[in-house]
Amino acid sequence: MTKLLFIPGSLRAASASKATARALIAALEGKAECSTADIGPLPHYNADLEDHPEVDAFIAQIEAADGVVFVSPEYNYSLPGVLKNAIDWASRPAFNSCLTGKPCFVVSVSGGALGGVRAQNHLKYILGGVLAEVFPYREVVVAMANKKVEDGILVDPPIIEFAIEGLTAFIKKIG
């Protein structure tokens, strides 16, 4: 079974990103083996740091996955610094990292009307720069996300259905 690693881009326990990841993982039951990475324990990127256990564990999670699903909120018209930090760690060594050639799928969420589309664009640009393979699909955006979370899970059937359509195509391509 295809192994997907979900990377929510928010640290907040009640984040819409985590709620969206939970909803997608639940909808993918039986279609993929899903796990979630916690990027909170990663230190600030510093090339002088070596053999850091949290970094090593995060990189191992990416290496073990057939594909990575980023679920990012939009902070100030871009992706959160904590997510960029995680990508910076995973992108080393440059051009030969665990992200090089790694199939990736991008979802964005926002409390606003645009659903994080600006953050999604920035994230796809960054992933391209680290030579990850971003799956070409229509933008999966969750607008007004905070109003659609109940008991820690995104409740928006049309968006979940649309995202699962894309993720099913993603799984088929990488599986």
- The overall pTM is greater than 0.85: yes
Dihedral of CA 126/129/133/138: which sign? Answer: positive
Q: Where are the beta strands (DSSP E) in 1-160?
A: 3-8, 33-36, 67-73, 103-109, 133-134, 140-142, 149-150, 153-154
pLDDT tens-digit series, residues 98-145? 999 999 999 999 999 999 999 999 999 999 999 999 999 999 999 999
Alpha-carbon span 110 to 31, nearest angstrom: 27
Alpha-carbon span 123 to 167, nearest angstrom: 17
Q: What is the mean pLDDT of residues 147-152?
A: 97
Ordered domains of the chain (ranges, CATH): 3-174 (3.40.50.360)
